[in-house]
Amino acid sequence: MERLYAVEPDEFMAERRRLAGEAKSGGDKTASADIGRLRKPSLAGWAVNLVAREAPTDLAGLLAVGEKLRRAQSQLDMATLQALRPDRDAAVDGFVAAAVRVCAERDRELRGGAQQEVRDTAIAAIADAGAAAVVASGLLVRALSYSGFGEVDVSDAVARTSSGAVLTVVRGGAPEEGPVGDDEPARQPVAVDQRARAQVEAEEQAAARADRLAAAQGAAALAEQELADAEMALTEARRRVKAAERARDAADKELAEARRR
């Protein structure tokens, strides 16, 4: 499974056929059928899978910050949530930069919508433990998104077989909290204060809106630059047309004069 989702996007279909054929030749028809149904990842999904495999430090940083933020949110610890905001932004930016880098190493450009989808996926992994596990699996087939509250929808986001989701946690990822050991005091339950919880959710929604605004501003700047480039190209094309027309007129004039001689 990992071999299939590690190949280049253009090689996915051929590799899937090859692996399905190997399974069938080995007498495992169920595995062959399962492999044959595996979905090709989107460009953003492929980029996230690359980071999971080849940039474990960036992945680990993202997951670690996410675990701290989710713990603080569960305890309604507003001071910690505020203090972790710069770390959150840095972790997301680092993850996106890593995705751009690993794609560039394969002569692939990650920009525009695909780059924004990677950013959305990183934000989702910070916000939700289930999304974090999917991102760490290296088997993502589509981008994830977080609306600012509730759980992240990870349905059909990871490679699945007939037995269910196949998840492999990549080394370097920060694991979710396990059972409390003897050397760690048990956390006391925190009373649910509706006003505080509403404030936490408002903070998360505001952060999500800020991310979307930043993405929209970046897309607008890119569109403006592309428009300016197009206008320059159009101006140059018009200049060349006029030059060609002048050259044609001059040639016609010379031809007419030559005929009168």
Within a domain: 180: no
Within a domain: 187: no
Within a domain: 90: yes
- Predicted TM-score of the model (pTM): 0.61
What pLDDT does 207 receive?
Answer: 62
Question: What is the count of structural domains for the chain?
Answer: 1
Below-50 pLDDT ranges, the chain: 165-196
If DSSP codes are grouped into helix, strand and coil, which group holds residue 112? helix
Task: Give every CB contact of residue 81 below 8 A, 6+ residues apart in sequence.
Answer: 69, 72, 73, 200, 203
Within a domain: 138: yes
Provide the domain limits for residue 71.
Answer: 4-174+193-224
29: how many CB neighbours lie within 10 A of its CB? 11
What pLDDT does 60 receive?
Answer: 95
What pLDDT does 177 receive?
Answer: 39
Within a domain: 229: no
Cβ atoms of 126 and 188 closer than 8 Å: no
Within a domain: 147: yes
Q: Which two tokens stand for residue 96?
A: 């996106």
Nearest of 119, 70, 111 to residue 93 by alpha carbon? 119
Task: Give every CB contact of residue 117 below 8 A, 6+ residues apart in sequence.
Answer: 42, 44, 143
Q: How far is CA 202 from CA 77, 81, 182, 198, 206, in A?
A: 14, 12, 36, 6, 6
Q: What share of the chain is helix, strand, coil (3-state, %, to 5)?
A: 70, 0, 30
Q: How far is CA 69 from CA 1, 6, 100, 129, 193, in A?
A: 32, 30, 25, 11, 18
Within a domain: 96: yes
Sign, CA dihedral 197-201-206-208, equals positive
Within a domain: 150: yes
Cβ atoms of 206 and 147 closer than 8 Å: no
What pLDDT does 3 receive?
Answer: 77
What pLDDT does 210 receive?
Answer: 62
